[in-house]
A and B are shown apart, each in its own frame.
Chain A
Amino acid sequence: KAGVTQTPRYLIKTRGQQVTLSCSPISGHRSVSWYQQTPGQGLQFLFEYFSETQRNKGNFPGRFSGRQFSNSRSEMNVSTLELGDSALYLCASSAGGPGTEAFFGQGTRLTVV
């Protein structure tokens, strides 16, 4: 069974640009969550999608957005990039029930210069 796939693995962008990250969950999983990992803030929850609907959202500015498609694949978009957006962005897939375990992809390393 294939795991969670995130693309691309690495990205370098310039301040002010926008970026789109992609995540393909484990087959059959309908929940996709996104997390930001930085040395200073640790792992922070961005948002969760289930069956194309955002069910929960973390405390991030509106520049961070996401969506989920009917095949459960998800994309995350960050507009007007700032230097502080440099981070490892992790996608997690789960069967969707509260309290169920989340399986993570290898992440996308975003560097904003």
Chain B
Amino acid sequence: GDSVTQMEGPVTLSEEAFLTINCTYTATGYPSLFWYVQYPGEGLQLLLKATKADDKGSNKGFEATYRKETTSFHLEKGSVQVSDSAVYFCALSPRSGGYQKVTFGTGTKLQVIP
């Protein structure tokens, strides 16, 4: 079945540091790929998405590129802020099958210190 593997956390960075959170996936066909973010006590917010190979999703300074050859969708940000502290989930949704279902990774907690 479908699965998503992302790097274990927590990740602790100083403000303005470069962020990379690795994500790889296993799926039949070519799924849509997403990054979601969860702040304490909140639900999930869609951060960015990509629907086909070589697509780059971007939002709020975060970027991720859909790499079909390496089945990866790594999240990057050039300069993190304290307000970026949250849990980040890599996820996929199959584009076939006649239903809507999201498979999530285990989440990576990011802590940014001033």
Contact = CB atoms under 8 A, between A and B. Distances in A.
Given A42-B104, A45-B103, A99-B95, A104 B43 contact: yes
B104 A101 contact: no
A98 B44 contact: no
Interface string B45-69: 1100101000000000000000000
A98 B98 contact: yes
Interface range, B side? 20 to 34
B43 A33 contact: no
B99 A92 contact: no
Quick one: which of B31, B42, B97, B101 has the most chain A CB within 10 A? Answer: B101
B15 to A, nearest CB: 27
B33 to A, nearest CB: 9
Nearest to A102: B102
Given A42-B106, A90-B43, A101 B34 contact: yes
A100 B32 contact: yes
Contacts of A35: 102
Interface residues of A, number: 27
B95 A103 contact: no
A80 interface: no
In terms of DSSP, what is the predominant structure of the interface of chain A? strand
Contact of A100 (B44, B93, B105, B107): B93
A105 interface: yes
A97 B93 CA distance: 10
Contacts of B89: 43
Contact of A98 (B45, B99, B104): B99
Contacts of A45: 101-103
Given A42-B106, A42-B107, A43-B89, A98 B100 contact: yes
Contact of A43 (B31, B45, B93, B104): B104
B20 to A, nearest CB: 21
- A-B CB proximity, top 9 nearest: A99-B95, A99-B32, A55-B99, A56-B99, A104-B44, A43-B104, A104-B43, A106-B43, A31-B100
